[in-house]
Amino acid sequence: MKKALRITLKTLGVILVILIIGGLLGWWYVSSQFLSFEDDYTEKTEIPELTIDGYTFLDRNDNGALDVYEDDRASIEDRVVDLLSQMTVEEKIHILKGSGMASGMGMVDPEEGIPGVVGTIVATPRLGIPAINLSDGPAGLRIEPTREGVDRTFYATAFPIATLLASTWNTELVYSVGDAMGNEALEYGIDVILGPGANIHRHPFCGRNFEYYSEDPLLTGKIGAAMVNGIESNGIGTSVKHFVANNQETNRNYNDTRVSDRAMREIYLKGFEIIVEDAQPWTIMSSYNKVNGTYTAESRDLLTDILRDDWGFEGLVMSDWFGGNDAVAMINAGNDLLEPGTKKQWKALTKGYEDGTLDMDAVDTSVKRILTLALKSKKMTDYTYGENPDLEAHAEITRKSASEGIVLLKNDDTLPLQKGKNVALIGVYSYDFIAGGTGSGDVNEAYTVSLEEGLANTGFSVNQKAKEVYQKHKNANPEAFIKPEGMSAMFNPYLPPEMSYDDAMMQDIANDSDLAIITIGRNSGEGGDRVVEDDFLLSEAEKKMLSAACEAFHAVNKKVIVVLNIGGVIETASWKNQPDAIVLAWQGGQEGGNAVADILNGNVNPSGKLTMTFPMHIDDHASNANFPQNGMPMQMMDMLFGKDEVPEDEMVENVDYTNYEEGIYVGYRHFDKADLDVSYPFGYGLSYTDFEYGDMELVYENDSLKVTLPVTNIGDVTGKEVVQFYVSKDSTQIDRPEQELKGFAKTSELSTGATDTLEVNIPVKSLQYWNEKSSQWTLEPGSYVIKAGASSRNIKRSVQIKI
């Protein structure tokens, strides 16, 4: 017996040793291939100076002479040509891929780089080209807030999620957010922000919709361009992502988007095209997915023919992290930079050079683009970053933008509230407000203002009976209230379980307070798509909580307000008749609670409008027929090591490939065409005041329709109005949407009785459709109707024109 025990223990011991050695070898292998695999951070290297004719230059080459590329009086173009001529093939191949993931995993020595940087353009020390730092992401700069041995923090501002920013329909405001975000990058030594995201909300369940703006490409393009221009006004680059047709997270690295040329041009590419035209971003990020069988990162058609030749994009294209499959094909196609860079790619490029498959002209073109970015960067100037951005000023911008993107969905004589009211906060998310989504779109912010704090900050009192219920619930479930940190926070949304209230308890709270606010919270992010149960639909606990609160509060003539602290569309049709008001707060960043309170107490009059449709049922969306339901989570190992191609006959629909059968009929384009009722239409949003639209006038000038429209505030309080301009084609010969958004504008803050005359430019070329027969944009002659609407289903003025 003893012997048997000894043998068993011995066997267990051997297994343990094997496991430990195996684990160590595995970790060594992963880190040598995917994490930092060379030490090339040289940004802090001392560069000697040269003085010529009393003018000081940096002698980056340290050869005691002034090379053209060192002469900052020469054009960047000439300097790049000079640099390229001095580089060896090895140096060129080296710069085509980043230095691995180390810093992104928080592993970098602060002396050598900036913790939290998720990728780099590698340095070329011999020529004094420094490493360029790339950091996420759309809702704020993602860097590590703490550093070993450093007695201070490095917080970045969590701005509102992209969907909220788009809901402001205010390009100037979005520019100011971009400007603040870019300033944080500048002050923390980051050269390129990996954002904004410009993918289309094809279906409400895409886990990353919060990082994207809208179901409409024009709005996506205009808001995206404002963000790019704001960030880049600091001399910091952007990487507009994920190019293109990357609309689901299920099997995200390998899914094949099967889509028509027309839908590509009119819907999925259009937003990117507008951003290139209006903002010429420094970089664009290719996506993980394939389009019609080819990885976007390997598609010459997308990256060179369309992006460069058709649109005139001048910047560089980088891959998404570990995206693409064949490094040589990527460079040959025009994907200039491979991120974060792996040893495997380095070897593949070297082999491609040796066997002649790597196109050396393409290499030179890509290297030039990379060098151009490096020369443009702050690293090549004598700018010293201070690591002290004005976080307080940025918090103000956050609060202002967050309140302007909040959409008032329902208001039965309830809002604004009088200050001083005692508010019963119902539901965990009233106390645990969600600032933003997860994944690379997450930000390491210093704090998040909850709704509870926001109300207290703006002159309300928070009902203690309701708070006690929350406290008890939290104490009973301590584990569920631990916020995931670091890498774990990236892929695990913080979603503590909802509370349950019995009727007596709710009545007690109702008797003890002036009104109830119920917060419904949702969160999602990179690596997973959303689902129907307990996500799109309210959970059983939420339904009960809502009914109980409405019953108890209405019984004593008190109001119930629902606040939606969500990152994507949820079902509203079945319950929206119950509460007295519904405030769509989205995820407003670190100042979220203050921003909602500003709306509730009337400090800010709501002026946000929906950038997507809220459907009656999820299957009303045409795309629902082809969207993964309950899709599998991200496979990390597949992402790192690649996955064997799945034979066509074994492919799983909506996992290995997704047919975009709905074509151009995404969002309101479909709901209008199919004449479906919706819960809230695209463009919808209420205000505390009313607006009157005057006569719309149209003038044809320089291939554009110049539209003017006076808007007057005819209500009692100051406010702003978003006006949307839709265009319909009368008696069309082709299959086209009933109407499409072709312009929008927002009034200034109008006091009672004040008028603002809005001016919008609709280029005639924007009325074209993509003609698949001739593969070109085509203008259908005849009569069009230009409409001005307060939403897509509330058209107030229209004018007919002939083209």
- Residues of this chain that interact with ligand BGC (CB under 6 A) are 118, 136-137, 194, 241, 320-321, 440, 526
Give CA 283 to chain center in angstroms: 15
Between 118 and 517, whose beta carbon lies closer to ligand BGC? 118
Q: Where does residue 117 rank: exposed (0-12), middle (13-18), buried (19+ CB within 10 A)?
A: buried
Contact, 576 vs 554, CB < 8 A?
no
- C-alpha to C-alpha distance for 685 and 782, rounded to whole angstroms: 33
Contact, 156 vs 390, CB < 8 A?
no
Shortest distance (Å) from residue 526 CB to ligand BGC: 6
Shortest distance (Å) from residue 195 CB to ligand BGC: 7
Between 285 and 664, whose beta carbon lies closer to ligand BGC? 285
Q: How many CB atoms lie within 10 A of CB 18?
A: 10
DSSP 123: P
> DSSP letters along 176-241, please?
HHHHHHHHHHHHTT--EEE--B-----STT-TTGGGS--S-HHHHHHHHHHHHHHHHTTT-EEEEE
Cis, bond preceding 242 (omega within 30 deg of 0): yes
Between 195 and 589, whose beta carbon lies closer to ligand BGC? 195
Between 286 and 739, whose beta carbon lies closer to ligand BGC? 286
SS3 at position 767: helix
Q: Return the H-helix or E-strand segment holding 505.
A: helix 503-512
- C-alpha to C-alpha distance for 287 and 295, rounded to whole angstroms: 8
Shortest distance (Å) from residue 371 CB to ligand BGC: 22
Q: How far is CA 548 from CA 262, 329, 423, in A?
A: 49, 60, 16
Shortest distance (Å) from residue 270 CB to ligand BGC: 20
Quote the tokens at residue 744.
């929008």
- C-alpha to C-alpha distance for 623 and 267, rounded to whole angstroms: 13
Shortest distance (Å) from residue 377 CB to ligand BGC: 18
What type of residue is 305?
D
Between 207 and 588, whose beta carbon lies closer to ligand BGC? 207
- C-alpha to C-alpha distance for 348 and 198, rounded to whole angstroms: 31
Quote the tokens at residue 227.
């963000």
Shortest distance (Å) from residue 134 CB to ligand BGC: 8
- C-alpha to C-alpha distance for 749 and 746, rounded to whole angstroms: 9
Between 604 and 634, whose beta carbon lies closer to ligand BGC? 634
Name the residue among 750, 611, 663, 694 with its Cα closest to residue 245: 663
Angle, alpha carbons 623-624-628 (nearest 5°): 105
DSSP 158: -
Shortest distance (Å) from residue 320 CB to ligand BGC: 5
3-class SS shares of the chain: helix, strand, coil, % to 5 = 35, 20, 45
Determine phi and psi for 600, rounding to 5 degrees.
-65, -40
Contact, 243 vs 192, CB < 8 A?
no
Between 320 and 598, whose beta carbon lies closer to ligand BGC? 320
Between 438 and 601, whose beta carbon lies closer to ligand BGC? 438
SS3 at position 724: strand
- C-alpha to C-alpha distance for 586 and 563, rounded to whole angstroms: 9
Contact, 67 vs 126, CB < 8 A?
no
320 flagged as catalytic: yes
Query: CA quadruple 638, 640, 641, 644: dihedral positive or negative?
Result: positive
Catalytic residue among 40, 179, 320, 529: 320
Between 119 and 128, whose beta carbon lies closer to ligand BGC? 119
Q: How many CB atoms lie within 10 A of CB 507?
A: 17
Between 194 and 316, whose beta carbon lies closer to ligand BGC? 194
Catalytic machinery residues = 320
